[in-house]
Amino acid sequence: MSGKITITMFTDPMMELHYESEPIIDRLKKEYADRIEFRYVMSLLVRDVSDFMTPKERAMEPAEGIRRYCTRLAAIYKSEETIGGLPINMDGFCLFDPEHLSSRPLCLAYKAAQLTEPAKADEFLTELRHAIVLDCRPATHFDEILRVVRKIGISENSFVRHYQGGSAEAELGKDLAYTRSLGIRSLPAYLIQCRDNALLMQSFDYQDFITAISKVANMR
């Protein structure tokens, strides 16, 4: 393989599909070491939870409709447990409520962590994702986000300053613009690049990644 490979992962911290892809990413990191650079782009899966609710759910009182949606989403998440073989716990899943209608806080949290302590940002993202799919924490709540900040050991004052002061919002805007520029409409998605060669893909199969890496590395 000639040339540095970059794999850009377009995702949202709430995505259990990216959680189920962790074994693939971990294997690639181990086998390719410093020959591949990995980076995350936040692509905001849920701008407003009502976009994903059924007409029946939207006709209910907000609290009940959102609760029904969360129950339905939890069943979807649980059904996808076999994709990567990682455990998923959906007991009491409550990511959204009438005061927390979007996954935007999760995406902002990653950008704030990245601005605060870049070396710990990916660990923060993994822990935030695990809080959702393993611990069923209401991670869209700011106090829950700060719980993860403290657990990872990121500077809380600096994190809050970026999260609330507009700098994380600006960086998230760049991520969303980049996602739109590539026409990505389904997550997670992966952009594999080497020199001027690039391939955009979606897969949950390790061999597909190996094939794509070889293809972009050997394009002329």
Q: Pick from 180, 178, 203, 177: which is nearest to 190 by CA?
A: 203
3-class secondary structure, 49:
helix
pLDDT tens-digit series, residues 104-119: 999 999 999 999 999 9
Q: Pick from 104, 89, 93: which is nearest to 142 by CA?
A: 104
Whole-angstrom Cα distance, residue 187 to residue 202? 8
- Give the model's pLDDT for residue 2: 57
pLDDT tens-digit series, residues 119-128: 999 999 999 9
Strands (E), 12-132: 36-42
Q: Is the dihedral of CA 204, 82, 176, 132 positive or negative?
A: negative
Task: Please state the rounded mean pLDDT for residues 83-98.
Answer: 94
Whole-angstrom Cα distance, residue 23 to residue 166? 34
Q: Scanning the structure block, which residue is given the tokens 């002061």?
A: 165
- Give the model's pLDDT for residue 218: 83
- Give the model's pLDDT for residue 100: 98
Asked whether the predicted pLDDT for residue 3 surpasses 80, the reply is no
Task: Please state the rounded mean pLDDT for residues 64-71.
Answer: 97
- Give the model's pLDDT for residue 217: 87
- Give the model's pLDDT for residue 206: 95
Q: How many CB atoms lie within 10 A of CB 39?
A: 12
Task: Please state whether 68 falls in left (phi above 0), alpha (psi between -120 and 50) or beta.
Answer: alpha
125-149 core/surface letters (b: 16 or more CB in 10 A; e: else): bbbbbbbbbbebbbbbbeebbbbbb
Q: What percent of the chain has pLDDT over 90?
A: 91
CB 125 within 8 A of CB 110: yes
- Give the model's pLDDT for residue 220: 60
CB 18 within 8 A of CB 129: yes
Band (211; pLDDT cuts 50, 70, 90)? very high
pLDDT tens-digit series, residues 26-54: 999 999 888 999 999 999 999 999 999 99
- Give the model's pLDDT for residue 4: 87
Q: Is the dihedral of CA 149, 29, 134, 55 positive or negative?
A: positive
Q: Pick from 159, 137, 131: which is nearest to 146 by CA?
A: 159
- Give the model's pLDDT for residue 33: 84
Band (193; pLDDT cuts 50, 70, 90)? very high
